[in-house]
Amino acid sequence: MGGFRGPHFFPYLSPKPPFMTTNINQYRQWIDQLLDDGRTVQVPVHGMSMFPILMPRDTVQIRRLSFGEMKPGQVLVFERDGQWVAHRLIKKDVKNSLLITRGDGLPYIDEPVDVASAKGIITKVIKTRSPFAWSINTRIDRILVWTGPITGRVFWMAGRVVSWGSRVSSSGF
């Protein structure tokens, strides 16, 4: 789930409907409508901030949940700065209707997410290159909530090495 285009480094999801269009807002409206209708949607993942659980070109399923149904440990999909982001839910601020998130491959917590920006949670990884994707929606999710300040730094460094290695191997060196 990679970085934003621009100064941000959050992963984003790019939903692609079965029709061709260059308007990303149409994509998002279409996906939002499907989620509002109670459907589960599949979208590709870009970026490394959820490494090693999710990797670029993985495909995930998303389902809409209410604020009350969201639990720490789940991988939340939300909109920030015009991009869809998937990061682990660390805790809920019930009083202010805010969600605290962090990418598994990042050493820091994100700015709080307003519940209105939440799109849903990742319920399943459909296609992946990660040997750890099976851990979505298991006890490991809850463990990563607590170990994140340490594992985030380790995963961040490992993700940089993997990312660098794939660029070197694709350039022929």
Partnered with residue 76 across adjacent β-strands are 87, 121
User: Which sequence spans correspond to the domains of the chain?
Assistant: 12-170
* pLDDT tens profile 3-58: 333 333 344 555 544 454 567 778 888 888 999 999 999 999 888 899 888 988 89
pLDDT above 90 covers a percentage of the chain that reads 42
Q: How far apart are CA 54 and CA 43, in angstroms?
A: 13
Greatest mean pLDDT range, 10-14, 54-58, 59-63, 134-138? 59-63
CATH number of 12-170: 2.10.109.10
Partnered with residue 113 across adjacent β-strands are 99
The pTM for the full model equals 0.76
